[in-house]
Amino acid sequence: MFKILHKQEVAPNVHEIVIEAPAIAKKAQPGQFLILMADEKSERVPYTLSDWDADTGAVTLIVLEAGHSSRKLILMEPGDQIEHVVGPLGVPLEIGHHGTVALAAGCYGIGAILSIARAMRKARNRVIAIVEARSHYLHYYEDQLREVSDELIQTTIDGSEGIKGHAVDVIKKRLEDGEQLDLVVVVGCPFMMMLTGRETEPHKVRTLVALNPIMVDGTGMCGACRVSVSGEMKFACVDGPFFDAHAVDWDELWDRKAAYSQEEIQSVERTEPVVPLRPGSRTDTL
Ligand SMILES: Cc1cc2nc3c(=O)[nH]c(=O)nc-3n(C[C@H](O)[C@H](O)[C@H](O)COP(=O)(O)OP(=O)(O)OC[C@H]3O[C@@H](n4cnc5c(N)ncnc54)[C@H](O)[C@@H]3O)c2cc1C
Ligand code: FES
């Protein structure tokens, strides 16, 4: 059992959940993730490690409500116990001295780049964090990211804050203006990651994307997270989640991600509403 220490909605539908997981906090490295089961009947769902504290044992995740399982998690309260947490999983992102590192992020990726930015800066890189959201009220972690990066650029699709457009537009412009980016790391939805890779490829800028296919066991046993990279079969849970954006078979990733869409939609319909039975109690379905 893993206790929820703190929970806060940092932007609409963006939930910061801090759990007590000392063994994970001791071993965690930037870019790794966990697999959680909210209760004994929940499916296993992967979440990226946003931050952790090896001294206190606290581990921070950013959870967006996407379907049934994330909703269960979000409806739990501080003091509640998460049934099962496995991790840290995945290959840590290689943190070394690259030069100028651009970290592009959207949705849960904004939380995911926090520890990456901190580690990259510690390794003497110049870190540019470029975060995108549909509108100003969907941005979060502004102060936290400013503290760990040399430059923080916010973009909004409606132009209500920062630069109008997407993170990839900023990267494209900087590369066209002749700025040298030595490494680009992208964490967000697959479309954003694919587009960013397309823009950096002609400039030959190494670009790593955090792939998020469906996962089940997270240990390379089930094959659910199979992706093709440079024509080779890889398992995102044990070979990734970071891969070369220029070598990923994106079409295959879309197809495999959508394999259970109907079931995911039906699952939400079947289980609504998911509510806590009493304040502070375990989440359960009615
Ligand atoms: C390595 C890795 C790291 C990840 N890190 C994070 C993270 O840090 N934070 C985070 O929030 N997510 C993260 N994810 C994604 C997260 O694991 C998935 O979103 C997961 O599927 C959520 O489970 P769910 O049951 O809530 O949603 P699912 O039931 O699996 O639903 C997923 C999809 O179905 C669609 N869907 C569900 N219900 C409906 C409906 N009624 N109508 C239309 N569409 C619907 C959703 O839009 C979504 O695209 C990560 C994934 C991976 C692989
Ligand atoms: S999740 Fe089963 S092999 Fe990766």
Based on the domain organization, do 107 and 229 belong to the same domain?
A: yes
The answer on 83 and 121 residing in a single domain is no
Asked which of 69-73, 143-147, 263-267 is least confident by mean pLDDT, the reply is: 263-267
**Residue range(s) defining the domain that contains residue 147:** 100-257
Q: How far is the CA of 33 from the centre of ligand 2 (A)?
A: 13
SS3 assignment, position 164: strand
Ligand 1 atom with the shortest distance to the CA of 45 = 17
Q: Whole-angstrom Cα distance, residue 271 to residue 268?
A: 5
Confidence label for 252 from pLDDT (cuts 50, 70 and 90) = confident
Q: Grade residue 269 by pLDDT with cuts at 50, 70 and 90.
A: low
Judged by phi (left if over 0) then psi (alpha if -120 to 50, else beta), residue 46 lies in beta
Q: Domain total for the chain?
A: 2
One domain, residues 118 and 201: yes
Q: Which residue has the higher pLDDT, 273 or 160?
A: 160
- Tell me whether residue 275 is in a domain: no
Q: Is there a single domain that holds both residue 145 and residue 248?
A: yes
The CATH number covering residue 80 comes to 2.40.30.10
Q: Are 276 and 79 in contact (CB under 8 A)?
A: no
Mean pLDDT for the chain overall: 91
The answer to whether position 266 is within a domain reads no
Contact present, 85 and 61 (Cβ < 8 Å): no
CB 208 within 8 A of CB 183: yes
79 CA distance to ligand 2 centroid (A)?
Answer: 31
206 and 231 fall within a common domain: yes
DSSP state letters, 125-139 = -EEEEEEEESSGGG-
Residue with tokens 């904004």: 110
95 lies in a domain? no
Q: In the predicted model, is pLDDT for residue 284 greater than 80?
A: no
Q: What gap in Å lies between CA 219 and CA 237, rounded to an integer? A: 6
Q: Does 128 share its domain with 209?
A: yes
Give the number of C-alpha atoms closer than 13 A to the C-alpha of residue 62, restricted to the C-beta side: 24
- Over residues 97-113, mean pLDDT: 97
| Distance from the alpha carbon of residue 234 to the mean position of ligand 2, in angstroms | 10
CA nearest 102: which of 129, 84, 122?
129
Using a 6 Å CB cutoff, which residues line ligand 2? 215-218, 220-225, 235, 237
- Ligand in closest contact with the CA of 240: 1
Q: Is the CB of 70 under 6 A from ligand 1?
A: yes
Distance CA 5, CA 17 (A): 8
User: What percentage of the chain reaches a pLDDT higher than 70?
Assistant: 90
Euclidean distance between CA atoms 27 and 85, whole angstroms: 14
Mark whether 109 and 77 lie in a shared domain. no
Is residue 125 domain-resident? yes
Same domain as 226, residue 105: yes
With respect to residue 190, please indicate whether it lies within any of the assigned structural domains.
yes
**Tokens matching residue 37:** 């089961």
